[in-house]
Amino acid sequence: MVRWLQSNVSGLLAVGLVGFLSITIGGVTSYVSSPVIALLVGFLLSNAGLTGSWAQPALQFAAGPLLKLGIALLGFRLAFSEISEIGSYVGICIVISLVLIVFLGIRKIGSLTKISNSLGLLMATGFSICGLSAIAAMKPLSGADDEEVGYALGLVTLFGSLSVVVLPLFQLIFDLGSSDFGWWVGLAVHDTGQVVATASIDSDKALDAAVLVKMARILMLAPILIGVSFLRNEKRSDQKRRYRIIPMFIIGFLAAATLRSLDVFSDQVIEAIGDIRSFFIASAMFGLGASVRIQALSNLGGRPVFFGFVSWVTILVLAGLGVLLNSMAG
């Protein structure tokens, strides 16, 4: 271990520096999150030939073990009690149902548009739950190659960014109140940073509603991961593989969420853990971005873009219906 660290110190320093700078830049703007910045930097540096063999072990470490640790720490961001704060059982059912319907619906759309099963799984997870972090969490279970992961991350970022522009225009067209607008943003927008940027355009009331609904969506990450892991293990005959139905990083995620829900740690400790998690995930996104090649992306063709557009429209429409149902129930 010590020898590995010594031989890869330059690569680890590069990963850490990009992670730190991404968080710093992301902290001064609400329009671009630190994972997106790190992903883009990794993609650009790699395709410019600046991440040679000297950096590869560190990049693989960032995109592998460090990513899983960051996803596990994501659980400290959540408390199970937040679901009850939505305000009604109808609202809770709407959020849970929407996540499941969008996830399964996008999987079906992927099948109809001849998208690979692994890319469809990544896209369904990213669109239905929480964008980049959800895709990163599903990556170990999906069997997707680096280019498919890069394509999924890019499309979720693209259409999530479009939502920041489009949803406020729709609010004006449909004359939505702040609460309804916040619900629509929380249900439809992928990345948490994009949720904050979009809802903040209206008011604090819209922002509070959007973040609350978004947190409830993120709580669905663990059940989705466990379900996919269970189904995949059911198809395997290898007894050793069947034994570990739930990967360790998912267990870590659930354990972290449980500790947060029980108020085991003070707010200061939770905040410190959040800073560490953000650094790990940003560094991991740098590693993922560096593994994607432009030529390989072009080989995938334009079909995934069409798939992404249809998926984006689908979640906008279904989220709008969810807002309508919640408004009628209220």
pLDDT tens, position by position, for the chain (330 residues)? 778 888 899 999 999 999 999 999 988 876 678 888 998 999 999 989 888 888 999 999 998 899 889 888 988 987 777 666 676 788 889 999 999 999 999 999 999 989 999 999 999 999 999 888 899 899 988 889 888 998 898 888 889 888 988 999 999 998 989 999 999 999 999 888 788 888 988 888 898 889 889 988 988 998 999 999 888 776 655 544 544 567 788 889 889 989 998 999 999 999 999 999 999 999 998 998 888 877 776 777 788 889 999 999 999 999 999 999 988 876
Burial of 173 (0-12, 13-18, 19+ CB in 10 A): exposed
pTM of the prediction?
0.84
Q: DSSP letters of 72-138?
A: HHGGGG--GGGGGGGSSHHHHHHHHHHHHHHHHHHHHHHHHTT--HHHHHHHHHIIIIIHHHHHHHH
Answer positive or negative: Cα dihedral of 207, 209, 213, 215.
positive
Nearest to 92 by CA among 221, 217, 218: 217
Annotate 205-229 with b (16+ C-beta within 10 A) or e (fewer).
ebbbbbbbbbbbbbbbbbebbbebb
8 Å CB contact between 222 and 250: yes
Q: Tell me what pLDDT residue 303 has.
A: 87
- Token pair recorded at residue 279: 């650094």
Cα–Cα distance between 183 and 203 in angstroms, integer? 13
8 Å CB contact between 70 and 15: no
Q: DSSP letters of 156-173?
A: HHHHHHHHHHHHHHHHHH
Nearest to 144 by CA among 313, 292, 327, 309: 292
Count of positions (residues) in the chain = 330
**Cα 91 to the center of its chain, rounded Å:** 22
Burial of 299 (0-12, 13-18, 19+ CB in 10 A): exposed
Q: Tell me what pLDDT residue 87 has.
A: 65
The DSSP secondary-structure symbol of 174 reads H
Q: Tell me what pLDDT residue 150 has.
A: 87
Answer positive or negative: Cα dihedral of 37, 127, 210, 251.
negative
Nearest to 38 by CA among 284, 274, 277: 284
Q: Tell me what pLDDT residue 242 has.
A: 46
Q: Tell me what pLDDT residue 243 has.
A: 41
Cα–Cα distance between 255 and 171 in angstroms, integer? 39
The pairs formed by 102-110 with CB atoms below 8 angstroms and a separation of 24 or more are: 102/127, 102/128, 102/314, 102/315, 102/318, 103/128, 103/129, 103/224, 105/314, 105/318, 106/311, 106/314, 106/315, 109/307, 109/310, 109/311, 109/314, 110/307
